[in-house]
Amino acid sequence: MKRGLKNSARIILFLILGIILLWISFRGIDLKKLGETLSEAEYGWLLLSSAVSIIALFIRARRWTLLIEPLGYKPGLMNTYHSLVTGYFANLIFPRLGEVTRCAALGRKEKLPFDKLVGTVIVERTIDVLTVLVLLGLTIIAGSKMTGRFLSENVIDPANEKLSVLIGSSSILYVVIIALGALGVYLYFALRQRLSGKPFFRKLYTFFDGIIEGLKSIASLKRKWEFIILTILLWISYLFMAYLPLLCLESTSGLGLSGAMFILVVGSFGMAVPVQSGMGAFHWIVSRGLLVVYGIPLEEGLAYATLSHESQLLVIAVFGAISMFILFGRQSGHILSSTSPEKVI
């Protein structure tokens, strides 16, 4: 009962934060002009973008199976796909719950160890972060100085300022993180024999052992080239998911693939904000980025952000609900509650 109330309170809190970010994004906007822009949009391009997003989900699902196979398991592609999309669906309700949910869903359906699946997801997300950083570098190199300035002023500098307010200096945080990480590793090995006899710590060590084994999967990939090709295809799909909605509006149709690359990078920062599906954060950073770097009016930029974000959200909502029902049938309503953050370990 208490856990249910706690989770509900968290969901409401994140939802309120998302609504506040949406209000900030649309504050001072000429809503009549925004409505006119949306009414004149060519929505056919969104259908093609949605089709590409579904293809991207299958590509990501196949790539995930490649990470799981070195652990000695061969999950079916469709079960992997449905688990993945169920995880994305969970993110619409509770930010960051999706990674836990997809591991729990696939583990339950294919009888796979949850902790090892978590390790593969950590590898996958690490690769995604590195890819975004590479794309960020390419965007800055290929773009104008305004691109780097926008990212610095709206992403990097604000983050450093908030850290400075909290702890005095952002550099101190990095030192603290490294120190705590080193201490954690030391305690993990130094106290293992002493603590592993106790039920809680034995379960904890088993969990982290599974994660470590999952992390090792990248080193023993049997189909490395397929993994690399799938990763390239995945991010090409994401690029076109950003590009195709540009064609919906006359003001953004000429930005081309370079504009889509910029949106893909800055949009990734917006999606990283811990609110349901990047709500509000994505709209703000994309619309402001288009204004600063390309001179697109805020109403036009917000129209693009709305078309792009909400079309993808609709795909996840529809196909996520379908996947959850296929996997769990009438038990679908209980899967999210059974994968709350408190139950990770």
320 vs 310: CA distance, rounded Å: 15
Tokens of 147: 């691109």
Q: Which residues have CB under 8 Å from 76's CB, separation 6+? A: 110
Give the SS3 label for residue 197.
coil
Q: Are 71 and 210 in contact (CB under 8 A)?
A: no
Give residue 345's pLDDT: 43
10, part of any domain: no
242, part of any domain: yes
Burial profile 315-342: b = 16 or more Cβ within 10 angstroms, e = fewer: bbeebbeebbebbbeeebeebbeebbee
210 vs 198: CA distance, rounded Å: 18
| Number of domains present in the structure of the chain | 1
Q: Which residues have CB under 8 Å from 223's CB, separation 6+? A: 66, 69
176, part of any domain: yes
Give residue 141's pLDDT: 74
Q: Are 254 and 320 in contact (CB under 8 A)?
A: no
Dihedral angle sign, alpha carbons of residues 265, 270, 274, 276? negative
Give residue 252's pLDDT: 93
Determine if the pTM surpasses 0.85. Answer: no
Give residue 274's pLDDT: 76
Give residue 26's pLDDT: 83
218, part of any domain: yes
8, part of any domain: no
Query: How many CA atoms does the CB half-sphere of 131 hold within 13 Å?
Result: 19
110 vs 112: CA distance, rounded Å: 6
155 vs 152: CA distance, rounded Å: 6
Longest distance between any two alpha carbons in the chain, whole Å: 68
List per-residue pLDDT tens for the chain, 345 residues long: 556 566 667 677 777 887 888 888 888 888 888 889 899 999 999 999 999 999 999 999 999 999 999 888 899 999 999 999 999 999 888 877 888 899 999 999 999 988 889 888 888 888 888 898 888 888 777 665 566 667 666 665 665 565 555 555 555 655 666 776 676 666 666 666 666 666 666 666 666 666 676 666 677 788 889 999 999 999 999 999 999 999 999 999 999 998 899 999 889 888 887 777 788 889 998 998 898 888 899 999 999 999 999 999 999 999 999 999 998 875 655 555 555 544 444
2, part of any domain: no
What secondary structure does DSSP assign to 270-331, as a single string?
A: HHTSSSGGGTTHHHHHHHHHHHHHH---HHHHHHHHHHHHHHHHHHHHHHHHHHHHHHHGGG
Q: Of all helices (H) and strands (E), which one includes residue 268? A: helix 256-271
Domain residues for the domain of 204 are 43-343
Give residue 344's pLDDT: 45
* CA angle (259 as vertex; 255, 260 as ends), nearest 5: 115
Give residue 51's pLDDT: 96
* Angle between helices 97-110 and 298-328 in degrees, nearest 10: 20
Give residue 236's pLDDT: 96
49, part of any domain: yes
Give residue 77's pLDDT: 94
86, part of any domain: yes
Give residue 15's pLDDT: 76
75 vs 62: CA distance, rounded Å: 10
Give residue 164's pLDDT: 57
Tokens of 329: 């049938």
Give residue 246's pLDDT: 95
100 vs 104: CA distance, rounded Å: 6
